Every structure is written in C-alpha cells, then in structure tokens.
Structure 1
Amino acid sequence: MPTLAEAAGLRSRARHLAAHNAKLQRDAELAEELNARLAEETAQLQAQLRSSRQALEQARVAAEELEDLKAAAKGLEEENGELRRQVRHMNQRLLAQGQGLREQIQAQTARMADLEAQLCRGTALLAARDAALAQVSSAQ
C-alpha cells in the first residue's frame, strides 16, 4: 500500500497530468481549427493562382493579337503610302494629259476659226461670182 504522501503525490501528479492532457487537447483542437483555416486559405490561394494563370494566359493572347494588329496596321500604312504615291503619279499624268488636250482644243478652235473665215471668204466670192454672172446674163 502506498503511503499517504505517496498517494497525495500520485493524486497531485494525476491532476497535473489531467491538466496537461486538457491543455494538450485544447492545443490539438486549436491546431485542427488552424489547419482547417489554412486548408481553406490554401484552397482560396490555389483558386486565385488558377485565376491569375488564366488572366496571364489571356493577357499573353491579347498581347500576341495586339502585335498581329500592329503588324497589320503597319502593312496597311505601307500599302496606303504606296497607293498615295500611285495616285499622285496618276494625277500628274492626268494633269499633263489634260493640258495636252486643252492645247489640242485651242489648236482646233483656231483651225475652226480659220476655216470659218475661209468659208466666209468663199461664200463672199461665190456671191460675187453669182452677182457677176447675173449681170452678165442680164446684159445679154
């Protein structure tokens, strides 16, 4: 049989162990709660990481599309510049042709005026001839 002092020591030790056990159980419960919160945060962070990766991929695709659009715009600008040069060349050619046509029209107008003057002189000569013939006929 244990002595009273030993029994008291054992009881004290049992109380101390029970208190220590209760503290360990509370610590284990807190650790489980903390673990659950950390698991939730980990799941949220993984979801954010997936979302960030998707956003990054979308940004990469958008950047590639932007580069493609820039290249297309540069090509269109170059084509536009070439078309402008062609239009200027055509305009110059058309202006030169127009000037040539104006000169031809002026020459034709002068020729027409000359022909009209010749026609008037010819008509006057014919009229004079008819008058002379009429005089000769009436004198006979």
Structure 2
Amino acid sequence: MKRTGFKRKPDCPFNSLSSRTGIARTAPMKRRARKPTVAEGSRYLEACRGERCYLRVPGVCLHSAESVVPCHSNQSRHGKGMGIKASHEFTVPGCSACHAWIDQGSGERQAKFDVWEAGFARWLPVRAEKMGALESAR
C-alpha cells in the first residue's frame, strides 16, 4: 500500500480555510483599556499619608494620625471584586480601627457603605487641593 501525505476529502467543510494564508479582518482591532501605572496609583496613596481619619466611625474611631492608612472602597461599582481591591482613586484616609470596622466589622453592609461614602465626600476636596499641590511640586 502506498503512503501519501495528508489530503482533505472534497466534501470537508474546512477546505475553504486551507487555501487562505490568514483570515481577513472585517473590523479593526480594538485597543485594550489602559491600566493605570504603579506611579499613577501611588499618587492617591501618597495623598493619604499624614492625614487625619476621615471615616470617623462613632464609637470606633481612634482620632490618631499615627495609625492612618488608605482605606479602599468595598463597593463593586468602584472596581472591588473577589480578591481584587478597588482602584486607588477610591481611597479615604482612615485610622486602623475604622479601617478594621469597614473591612471586618460586624456592622450592616449598607451602614459601612454610608460611612465610607460620607468620608469620601469629606476627603475629595481636600485630596484635590493636596494633589494639585503635589503636581505643581513635580
């Protein structure tokens, strides 16, 4: 029996693909959304440094400037997901006790969202002014 190379049968549905060198594009390639660089994200974290607590959870807040950390939003509309932090743009300076209450506390979910939103509203104008000063210093 004579051995031959692989040949497609005449009625094979894939015959039309074998004669082309590549598939022609009907639409232009789409560009991916640009992810922020580490330097761009760290500007927001840097703005939180040395600030007081803006979360001010009643009965929890330490009112201590030494323990202030950037507290990321826990809301999915800000980019939060399973194992994914929200964007650095959605951070608020908060003391360690308020941060723990927001992330692991036993309070109602909506109450935590409300406290974070109120803190973010207080922090936004201060951050805008501070980041404007940071930009002009560079």
- What TM-score results when the alignment is normalised by the length of structure 2? 0.21
Q: Which has the larger radius of gyration?
A: 1
Whose strand proportion is higher, 1 or 2?
Answer: 2
Higher relative contact order, structure no. (Cα contacts within 8 Å, ≥ 6 residues apart): 2
Whose helix proportion is higher, 1 or 2?
Answer: 1
- What TM-score results when the alignment is normalised by the length of structure 1? 0.21
